[in-house]
Structure 1
Amino acid sequence: MDNISVSTATDKLEGMIQGAIALIPNLLIGVIVLAIFWLIARLVRKFIKRATRRSDASNVGSVLGRLAQGILIVLGFLLAAVIVFPNFNPADVLASLGIGGVAIGFAFKDILQNFLAGILILLTEPFKLDDQIVYNDIEGTVEHIQTRATIIRTYDGRKVVLPNGELFTNSVMVNTGYDKRRLEYDFGIGYGDDIAQAKEIILNVLSNNDDVLSEPSPEALVVDLAGSTINIRARWWIHPPRRADVVASMDWVLEKICIDLVAAGIDLPFPTQQILFHDQTEETDGDRSRQREGWPAKNNGENPKAFNLSRSVIRAAQTTE
């Protein structure tokens, strides 16, 4: 009985060894095929990157190159498996992946969403490398667009990693999307000042700046009659519209306009308010038809509100003069 068991085990071991020896040629061929596909995949990736290196689609080429390399390596692995194991059926593996893909999709939903969003951002190019964008309270320069996230460098030198899914599904302001950008600032002058003269001074300052574009031409528009000032809005265009250019232009224009307005004798008043205190001791308190809301009573029948309003206007005019 023991001799039979030993003989059976020996026969099985010999069969396994012979089977392994028989697989060696197929294994070598499979390894060679896999190596060939791996080499082709690397060449394809380098070719795609080189073809798009000098174009605006260089980042897209890098991603497409990696995808092409991965697909070719997977195909080479399946072909090598068929060569090494003739009974291997790739269709069964693909079917298993299809069933498990649903569970994988739910488990890695956010990762897949960011991956697909990254591919769409690279293809549609709502913004590119070196563009300056604003997303919520984050503003900076686009340094890298990866398949999962976009890398932003803020103006104060910090690194921000933004998931591509958020950037693709939400509003993003691209400050460098066009080659021109309009800047504006409101200057408040006194009610007693000459509006036409103030406009002329503002336009002269903007016209004498080489960084301000002549077309579209600068503008000076009255936009508000505020409580203490007449607000004139200066509007001008610059090129290029990068953050450093915006800061430099605003600094020069605001300083020069302020100096010239003051030199011309035009007032730049600060906000003022008049506060009335109601003593709440009069007989008319609570009577909405007779209550004067803090205005003092007059015995001569004069309208207290009109009287005090006229005095306030006179004082305000005298102050501005």
Structure 2
Amino acid sequence: MACPPPSRDASAGVTRVVVFAPSPVLTVVIEDRGGVPDVHVHAGGQGVWQARMVSSMGVDVTVCAALGGETGRLLRHLIADEGLDTRVVDGAFTNGSYVHDRRSGERVTVAEHPGDPLPRHVLDEVYGLTVTEALDAGAAILSGPAGPAVVPDDIYRRLASDLGGNGCPVVADLAGDRLAAALDGGLAVAKVSHEELGIDAGDRDALLAAVADLHAAGARAVVVSRADRPALALTDDGLFEVRMPRLAPADPRGAGDSMTAGMAAALARGLPVTEAVRVGAAAGALNVTRHGLGTGDRGAIEKLTARVDLVPLPGGTAVTTPDDLAHRLAAGADGGRNRR
């Protein structure tokens, strides 16, 4: 599969990101405030969290989503209250929701529902809205729903192909069959965690082999997050270990989504992919210091970006293309597996 064209020139002022967030979820989180339950009700789901971070970085964002049922009616108001621009399709289904109790200091699930599968006509409308909006955007994010049955995997292949083929850089933060489908369509950046790959964070050789596989499958650039270890990134400039500032975490959830959002926002501003990785790392590092998912501060992210180090890995600086590097990575991994 041919990879999509590189990021378009943002000299015309295109600084908007479109987020495919097919089915947001209603989130209810109970925390303790001096012995009194403190209830927080927000719009959530991967796409909403990513859109929130893009917006906090001063980049316009449009969320393309479907809303239905009682949860959908609440989500419409909650998303609007955040000032996020939305393109919404209504339908006879119910969006997902969850109730989490954090009063003990741990996140305890009280109730959770991923949401109903989207009806075919609703899915077609959301697809059309996403393509229309992204054709003149600086970048697009493909995010996943809460449950495996909400949307079919193949929609990610079609969106990646249609958007990337028409000049919109596509960043995908997916896993499993959804990621495979998006790769088949071609991606500007594939972001995935070591957990989603099923590989131990400390097994760098296996992760590098996975990076090569993801590139060969259709991703021009690849970023693999490794929890509290440095992320790994393959870009046109080579292979790097991404060393982020170490900050005390308040809630480690959401760092990956914020990293994805930061990269997309940087691409929409016309920055090269390697610099976008630095911005994304800074956004992810900042988000873990906050309780709100997908929240941040543009000024703080810009300052943290200057503290992100991209350390070239052996063999990663003397290559001219990601394909060359991917071949070297694959050869090295094969050699390691065949040694006795």
- Sort the TM-score into its range (normalised by shorter chain): under 0.3
Q: State TM-score, norm by structure 1.
A: 0.19
What TM-score, normalized by structure 2, do the two folds share?
0.18
Structure 1 or 2: more strand by fraction: 2
Structure with bigger RCO (C-alpha 8 Å, 6+ apart): 2
Larger radius of gyration: 1
